[in-house]
């Protein structure tokens, strides 16, 4: 169906949004969001969701989950949503990447959920329902929604491929994914979200017709905390206390929490935490060993190139001290509001 016809068909049929809280202190308008996440593996997804749920400026219309055990991931997201007075639909999306074997089949943090919750989960689900939800939400809120994608991009690629032109109705796509410089990280030029479904990563950058802002591993790697610091800092808010309990699964095998996804979430509202460069991103699909590696070409290096595609804005630097100050300040403000 043509974009204009689909838009007319769903006009006025917006999904239920959460129960908003009074926020007389806010001076900026609320930001309308969809979150696509692989919550349940790296603990940073849960940290980012906790931040969004605590932020009165975030109008979170819904959450979709991606990669293995997507329903368990949805149950984790639903548990966090249930800790606050908000109504946020959560739908399980695609589990398998497009053309390669799954590299993330398990949602490890689901062991922290009540066993009765896990037993009650259906054994199958239709991932297209998550794509339907994303599409209908965007059509119902044209030019208002920012899509925040902080997991592998299987759901996002399916949305863009199934609904040609829909990204023109998005305000922005913001991602945590890729690596755009030679800043040293343990995995060379690769980044997990980009390589888990490399063909989806390629489709994201090829099909998007709206502004795209990317926070790569080279930048997010610079934001980390030790387990002891996490345990000390995360006791100030119920959302963070829950994430702290889940983080013990993460720290069984790792000695740092990196704030990958929280940086992307925070920069929706605090863009000045980072510096940026404009250009284009290509995704290597030349061989299995290189599939999903991202390459950034600055706009300044192609002054004579004419393109109708929107350029990509990548983060090139971050103020780490200011990031942590503002991240935890948000939870302190929310705690004071709840107690008043």
| Distance separating alpha carbons of residues 242 and 237, to the nearest angstrom | 9
The tens digit of pLDDT for each residue in 54-77 reads 999 999 999 999 999 999 999 999
The tens digit of pLDDT for each residue in 139-167 reads 999 999 999 999 999 999 999 999 999 99
- Of 20-34, 71-85, 207-221, minimum mean pLDDT range: 20-34
pTM above 0.85, yes or no: yes
Check the CA dihedral 137-44-217-103 and report its sign: negative
What pLDDT does 29 receive?
80
| Distance separating alpha carbons of residues 9 and 139, to the nearest angstrom | 9
**26 pLDDT above the threshold of 90:** no
What pLDDT does 85 receive?
81
Q: What is the dihedral of CA 77, 79, 85, 91, to 10 degrees?
A: 40
What pLDDT does 10 receive?
34
The tens digit of pLDDT for each residue in 282-296 reads 999 999 999 999 999
Q: Which of 63, 310, 317 is nearest to 205 (CA)?
A: 310
Q: Encoding tokens for residue 116? A: 């009765």
Packed helices 128-140 and 154-162: angle between N→C axes, nearest 10 degrees? 60
- Mean pLDDT, range 301-325, rounded to an integer: 80
What pLDDT does 3 receive?
40
What pLDDT does 338 receive?
55
Of the pLDDT bands very low, low, confident and very high (cuts 50, 70, 90), residue 37 is very high
**190 pLDDT above the threshold of 50:** yes
| Distance separating alpha carbons of residues 216 and 294, to the nearest angstrom | 9
The tens digit of pLDDT for each residue in 77-131 reads 999 999 998 899 999 999 999 999 999 999 999 999 999 999 999 989 999 999 9
**35 pLDDT above the threshold of 90:** yes
The dihedral region occupied by 208, where left means phi > 0, alpha psi between -120 and 50, and beta the remainder, is beta
**205 pLDDT above the threshold of 70:** yes
Q: For the beta carbon of residue 297, count every other beta carbon within 10 angstroms.
A: 15
Q: Encoding tokens for residue 318? A: 């971050």
The dihedral region occupied by 188, where left means phi > 0, alpha psi between -120 and 50, and beta the remainder, is left
279 CA to centre of own chain: 21
Check the CA dihedral 193-197-201-207 and report its sign: negative
| Distance separating alpha carbons of residues 55 and 262, to the nearest angstrom | 12
What are the angstrom distances between the C-alpha of 165 and each of 2, 102, 271, 285?
A: 9, 29, 27, 24
Domains of the chain: 3-17+26-339 (3.90.245.10)
- Of 131-135, 263-267, 289-293, 304-308, minimum mean pLDDT range: 304-308
| Distance separating alpha carbons of residues 50 and 313, to the nearest angstrom | 25
- Who's near 24: CB < 8 A, 6+ residues apart? none
Widest Cα–Cα separation across the chain = 61
| Three-class SS state of 78 | helix
């Amino acid at each position: 169906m043509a974009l204009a016809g689909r838009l007319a068909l769903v006009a006025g049929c917006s999904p239920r949004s959460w129960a908003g809280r009074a926020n007389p202190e806010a001076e900026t308008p609320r930001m309308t969001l969809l979150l696509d996440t692989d919550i349940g593996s790296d603990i940073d997804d849960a940290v980012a969701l906790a931040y969004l749920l605590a932020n009165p400026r975030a109008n979170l219309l819904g959450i979709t989950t991606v990669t293995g055990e997507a329903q368990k991931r949805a149950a984790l997201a639903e548990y966090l949503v249930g800790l606050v007075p908000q109504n946020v639909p959560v739908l399980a999306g695609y589990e398998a990447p497009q053309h390669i074997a799954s590299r993330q089949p398990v949602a490890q943090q689901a062991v922290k959920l009540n066993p009765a919750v896990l037993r009650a989960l259906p054994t199958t689900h239709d991932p297209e329902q998550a794509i339907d939800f994303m599409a209908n939400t965007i059509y119902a809120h044209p030019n208002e929604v920012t899509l925040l994608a902080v997991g592998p991009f299987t759901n996002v690629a399916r949305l863009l491929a199934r609904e040609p032109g829909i990204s023109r109705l998005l305000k922005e796509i913001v991602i945590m994914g890729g690596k755009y410089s030679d800043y040293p990280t343990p995995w060379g030029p690769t980044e997990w979200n980009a390589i888990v479904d490399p063909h989806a990563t390629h489709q994201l950058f090829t099909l998007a017709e709206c502004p795209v802002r990317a926070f790569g591993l080279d930048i997010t790697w610079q934001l980390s905390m030790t387990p002891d610091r996490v345990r000390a800092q995360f006791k100030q808010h119920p959302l963070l206390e829950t994430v702290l309990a889940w983080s013990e699964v993460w720290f069984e095998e790792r000695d740092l929490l990196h704030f990958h996804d929280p940086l992307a979430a925070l920069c929706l509202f605090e863009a000045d935490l980072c510096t940026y460069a404009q250009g284009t991103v290509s995704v290597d699909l030349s061989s299995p060993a290189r599939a999903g590696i991202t390459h950034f070409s600055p706009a300044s290096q192609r002054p004579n190139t004419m393109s109708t595609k929107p350029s990509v804005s990548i983060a090139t630097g971050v103020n780490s001290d200011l990031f942590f100050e503002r991240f935890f300040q948000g939870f302190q403000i929310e705690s004071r509001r709840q107690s008043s």
